[in-house]
Amino acid sequence: MERPSLESFTARHHLDSRSLCAQIVEAREGAIAVRSAGAATDNLTRIIEATLRLANRKGFAAMTLRELARESGLSLGGLYAYIGSKDELARLIQSWVSRTLRRVMASALADIETSRMRLATAIEAHLLTTEALREWFFFLYMEAHHLASDERRQAVAAERNSEQIFADIIRQGQSEGRYGAMNADIAAGLIKAMLQDWYLKRHKHGERGLDVTAYADTVTAAAEALLDASGETTTTTHS
């Protein structure tokens, strides 16, 4: 398979806000008071995009529904045809971005076999997904800590799941003798930290003129350097 561009990856996996909102409307049939699915998707998209815009600037708790009504173009009362409550709006966004990442990662890795290719593909898929849905992932990261314990547990599980994908790839590579004996969970954690930096510090990377594909190469090189070197005895003590 060719190296995917951001655009082709986004199109193939339906990683735009409208597609996600269409899925939400479909899954929540009955909970939304507006009958026409097309119009409902339009309005929900405007509501969620406005939410991400406002909440990512000033925080979800500080965002008021009056601002959201103004920003989304709907009225205060109109919002309640789409959401049950303000809190439910946050849960909605978070649960769908979590399951989207899981879906895309599984799909992207489906027919890749060698550990070397799986590592590069997983890194690239993670970065392209979070780049396409940048605001969604930023929201998830920043607001997940404030969820009620049930939803929070779900968010932690999703996070752990995506880290496990990397840990499993690393263990596969180790069993093939390709990588050194470093703890796979810890290595996966380091890789995840570098991946999350992409959407958490988007502004910085934009200033440097680094695009997502170049960053994917950088992280892949870093991961392989880390894993290749981990067989040697690296004594890192002072003086």
Residues that bind DNA (CB under 7 A): 33-36, 39-40, 43, 63-66, 73-78, 80-81, 85-87
Provide, rounded to whole angstroms, the least separation between the CB of residue 136 and DNA: 20
Please state, in angstroms and rounded to a whole number, the distance separating the CA atoms of residues 173 and 179: 6
CA distances from 82 to 133, 136, 208 (A): 21, 18, 40
Provide, rounded to whole angstroms, the least separation between the CB of residue 137 and DNA: 23
User: 64 with 22: CB under 8 angstroms?
Assistant: no
Instruction: Catalog residues that contact a copy of itself under the rule CB under 8 A.
Output: 1-3, 56-62, 117, 120-121, 142-143, 145-146, 185-186, 189-190, 192-194, 196-197, 201, 204-205, 208, 210, 217-222, 224-226, 228-230, 234, 236-239
Provide, rounded to whole angstroms, the least separation between the CB of residue 71 and DNA: 12
Q: Which is nearer to a copy of itself, 81 or 142 (CB)?
A: 142
Tokens representing residue 76 in the block: 């205060």
Q: Which is nearer to a copy of itself, 130 or 220 (CB)?
A: 220
Burial class (CB in 10 A: 0-12, 13-18, 19+), 85: exposed
Provide, rounded to whole angstroms, the least separation between the CB of residue 47 and DNA: 10
Sole residue written with tokens 């076999």:
113
Provide, rounded to whole angstroms, the least separation between the CB of residue 132 and DNA: 27
Pick from a copy of itself, DNA, none: which does 236 bind, CB < 5 to 8 A by kind?
a copy of itself
Please measure the distance between the N-terminal and C-terminal CA atoms of the chain and give it in whole angstroms.
Answer: 50
204-229 exposure pattern, b = at least 16 Cβ within 10 A, e = fewer: ebeeeeeebbebbeebbeebbebbee
Pick from a copy of itself, DNA, none: which does 120 bind, CB < 5 to 8 A by kind?
a copy of itself
